[in-house]
Amino acid sequence: MRACYLLLLWLLARGCRANRFTGTSLTFDPDKNSSQVVAVRYKLGFESCRNLSALNCTTDQCQFNAVQVRRVDENPGEWCQEEVTAYVRGETSYIDLSLSGLQWIAGLANNVSDVYSVSYTKLGKRNDTGRSNVSPRTTMLPVLRVPGNCHSYIRLPTFDPDGDTVTCDDNSQSYVPLPFLHVHKNCSINVDPHGQEGSYAVELFVDDKLCADVELTNDQGESHILYRGSYISATSVQFVLKVGANASCQPGEDLPLFVKPTPKDGEHLYAFVDQTLYIPINATTSRTNITGVLFSGPAGISKSGTGNDDFVLAYTPGPDDAGQRHALCFVVQAQASSNGSVSEFQSPMRCVIIVVDHVLFGLTAKFTLRSLDSRRDIDKVALPQLKRELVKRGLPADISLRVVEFNESLPLDYAHFPNPNLNG
């Protein structure tokens, strides 16, 4: 069964050679029923949609099961990103995967053609978290535009659910390092003004390092220790950096400028199972025409325009997303026409973290207040007292309460909290 399935992937990869690659990012998620099984979620960018990949085990000691492919977003005529979910079982203490057999888009200025990346994770239940290891989380647009005559700053939204230390390294496959590109350990990238227009393949290696000794135990009860400072998993992030020229480096002129109520970079947004989270994205320019928003994040996000350069991303997490945290990055794109040619511009990339909680429940509470500042009394006095009472009655200590509707003329306010029986 395994040999036939891997052959199928290889044949699909051969058929996709004319449809060129623009980037990838990958994460490992543990399976709830076995410490030897992981859900591998990897995003793939191509010039058009509907492609599978040549992701493969590097040894015969792991096997694939059930594959699902879902659309993330696309910029027609340039790229389409899809998310592939595959369940992989490892027969040893680790899973080691490679992505190969594909070709980068043509004409890259750093002369990269063949796609190759590796990712790995250690297997076994951790004694510090009580669950199998989770790899670092991040995401990235397959194609990102920056001006070559301006300073640019790119920040990947990296984090690790296990609390391990996440670091990034430049793992570019270019024959000659890009002197204008500076990758920092905190997963930020500085692009110096250099005036060299063109498209470049960029690859980062994202890994998580243990902050303390950790014992890993497999399904058979066998255990081994990884010591502080050891790398417990690593994934690669690849994308195309398109460098153009701008008449102005001032945000809001050629480059779209984000304005309120767009979430701030790095902000945490809270979503709940089977309820839709709406993310407003607004931008402005004075010398170019805004044409849309592009994003990379969990599959299942939809986008729409509301007019006046305002957009909305909508995400409704399902039961499988409960307890997850997802990285979401987005840019606003603009155009300008001159002498029959069209130039494309993008805002700086902005990223947020979506925290998916369990089913949201509503609680009706009646508060008797004697102060003139009733809203402050609710936030600072009534809600803490209510939380202590709910915890005393069996709810988890980390529940959060918040007022979602407030009207001083009414005696009722509403606080919401997650159902403790659904915590993972």
> Which carries the bigger pLDDT value, residue 366 or residue 129?
129
User: pLDDT band at 67, cuts 50/70/90?
Assistant: confident
DSSP conformational letter for 251: T
The dihedral through the CA atoms of 6, 10, 12, 13 has a sign that is positive
Instruction: Give the pLDDT confidence score for residue 395 in this predicted structure.
Output: 61
Residue 8 lies in a domain: no
Q: Is 389 exposed, middle or buried (0-12, 13-18, 19+ CB in 10 A)?
A: exposed
pLDDT (0 to 100) of residue 416 = 43
Residue 385 included in any domain: yes
Distance CA 189, CA 187 (A): 7
CA-to-CA distance for 238 and 25, rounded, in angstroms?
7
Interval 145-199: pLDDT, tens: 999 889 999 999 999 988 899 999 988 655 567 889 999 999 999 999 987 889 9
| Token pair in block for residue 387 | 């939380």
Pairwise CA distance, residues 221 & 275, whole Å: 40
The answer to whether residues 267 and 331 belong to one domain is yes
Do residues 372 and 320 share a domain? no
State residue 324 phi and psi, 5-degree precision.
Answer: -90, 160
Query: Are 279 and 330 contained in the same domain?
Result: yes
Q: Is residue 409 over pLDDT 70?
A: no
Q: Which of 357, 373, 404 marks a domain boundary?
A: 357
Strands across the sheet with 152-155, in order? 152-155, 188-191, 181-183
**Chain position carrying tokens 């402050």:** 376
- Name every residue whose Cβ is closer than 8 Å to that of residue 130 and which is 6 or more positions away in sequence: none
For residue 309, the enclosing domain spans: 249-357
Q: Kindly state the percentage of the chain with pLDDT values over 70.
A: 81
CA distance 92 to 220: 11
Of residues 119, 113, 53, 117, the one with CA closest to residue 82? 53
How would DSSP label each residue in 88-113? EEESSSEEEEEE-S-BBPTT-TT---
The confidence score (pLDDT) of residue 53 equals: 60
Per-residue pLDDT reduced to its tens digit, 256-301: 999 999 999 999 998 888 889 999 999 999 999 999 999 999 999 9
* Cα dist from 285 to 26, 243, 252, 256, 259, whole Å: 34, 20, 4, 5, 11
List strands edge to edge, sheet with 360-366.
360-366, 412-418, 403-405
Asked if residue 162 is part of any domain, the answer here is: no
d(CA 172, CA 185): 15
pLDDT-derived band at 316 (thresholds 50, 70, 90) equals very high
Identify whether residues 366 and 392 lie together within a single domain: yes
Q: Is residue 6 included in any domain, yes or no?
A: no
One domain for residues 365 and 268: no
Are 370 and 418 members of one domain? Answer: yes
| Residue 291: CATH number of its domain | 2.60.40.10
Q: What is the spatial distance between Cα 151 and Cα 376, in angstroms, rounded to a whole number?
A: 44
Strands 181-183 and 188-191: antiparallel
Final residue before a domain boundary, out of 357, 385, 407: 357
pLDDT in tens, 106-138: 999 988 899 988 899 999 999 998 888 889 999
Amino acid at 402: R
One domain, residues 253 and 306:
yes
Whether residue 318 is found in the same domain as residue 263: yes
Mark which of 331, 357, 383 sits at the end of a domain: 357
Model confidence at 4, in pLDDT bands (50, 70, 90)? very low
Q: Decide the pairing of beta strands 231-244 and 143-147.
A: parallel
Evaluate whether residue 221 is within a structural domain.
no
Same-domain check for residues 333 and 406: no
Does 253 lie in the same domain as 353? yes
Residue 236 lies in a domain: no
Phi and psi (nearest 5°) for 227? Answer: -95, 160
The whole-angstrom separation of Cα 335 and Cα 340 is 13
Give yes or no: residues 256 and 321 share one domain.
yes
Q: Are residues 284 and 378 in the same domain?
A: no
pLDDT band at 386 (very low <50, low <70, confident <90, very high): confident
Contact 269, 278 (CB under 8 A): no
Q: What is the DSSP letter of 394?
A: T
Q: Rounded distance, CA 324 to CA 29, Å?
A: 10
Tokens of 341: 């040619």
Q: In angstroms, rounded to a whole number, what is the distance separating the alpha carbons of residues 349 and 351?
A: 7
Q: How many domains does the chain have?
A: 2
pLDDT in tens, 320-338: 888 888 999 999 999 988 7
408 within a domain of the structure (yes/no): yes
For the chain, helix, strand, coil in percent to 5 are: 10, 50, 40
DSSP, collapsed to helix, strand or coil, labels residue 127 as: coil
The answer to the question of residue 309 being in a domain is yes
